[in-house]
Amino acid sequence: MQRLIVSLISLAMTLGGFAARAAGDTKSEQLLAQARAALGGDKNLNKVQGLSAAGTYQRDMGDRQLSGKDKIPDFLTACRSTGVPGEWFDGVEIAGPLAEFEGADRCVPSPAKPGLALIGDAAASTDPSWGCGLSKTLLDVETLSACLLESDDWDAAVQRYAAKHDEHYGKLHDILSWMTELMWSGGPEADERRARVLPRMNADPTGFPDASGQGPFGPCDEQARRLILGLAL
């Protein structure tokens, strides 16, 4: 199980670290080197990096069919169905409880009233698989603080915060929806699109959305959408 966790983390770093590497940040390369060593070399690492999403496990929001001890066999079957080597799961030991949760993406429009402002997940939550929740919370804190410092009229300040929050969240929501469509859609057409888009994004991320790096301050216009969905390649 430890090898599986390390492998999935390395996949996430591979997909999320393109912009950082293009900017000269070597931290992601160092992390990949550690993952490579843990997996036993490039051969096993390449298996992770080249996985197809055709077997992706998806369920509708609100479904909890993989929660509880009696669902562990079903959970392992679902993991194997994603296309990873089956031997990764041989002899696994259960180390904790099993619970399935929805990747909720919800928001409170204009999350402020006189004397009250919501931040973080209370204002809007994003799919946790993209790892943007804490960054968004810190951005909310910074934005609210700046608005409060600009004026003694705090009721007006929280309304300005709410407007900026909705703008930031709306852009991030668009980016994550495009990334979800790219990465988690199944079938031959989706596989073909990933085969075109991911190498291009890895080679030159200019103009592509950068959910984990720049978030709502990076590319998120129509051109960015066309790039990430392979419509402009």
Q: Does the pLDDT at position 5 exceed 50?
A: no
Return the closest-CA partner of residue 172 out of 133, 222, 223.
Answer: 133
pLDDT of residue 62: 46
pLDDT digits (tens, 9 = 90+) for 157-186: 999 999 999 999 999 999 999 999 999 898
20 vs 151 pLDDT, higher one: 151
Q: How confident is the model at residue 20 (pLDDT cuts 50, 70, 90)?
A: very low
**What ranges do the domains of the chain cover?**
2-89, 106-228
Average pLDDT over residues 82-108: 84
The single residue listed with the structure tokens 């852009």 is 171
pLDDT digits (tens, 9 = 90+) for 27-72: 456 556 656 665 566 665 555 444 443 444 444 444 557 888 889 8
Q: Which residues pair with 112 in a beta bridge?
A: 117
- H or E stretch covering 106: strand 106-107
**SS3 state at 124:** strand
**Averaged confidence pLDDT in the chain:** 79
Flag the least confident range among 4-8, 89-93, 135-139, 140-144.
4-8
Q: Long-range pairs for 205-208 at CB < 8 Å and ≥24 separation?
A: 205/18, 205/19, 205/22, 206/22, 208/18, 208/19
- Under a CB-based contact definition with an 8 Å cutoff, are residues 168 and 139 in contact? yes
Any residues with CB less than 8 A from the CB of 182 and at least 6 apart, and which? 193, 194, 197, 228, 229, 230
pTM of the model: 0.65
Q: Does the pLDDT at position 200 exceed 90?
A: yes
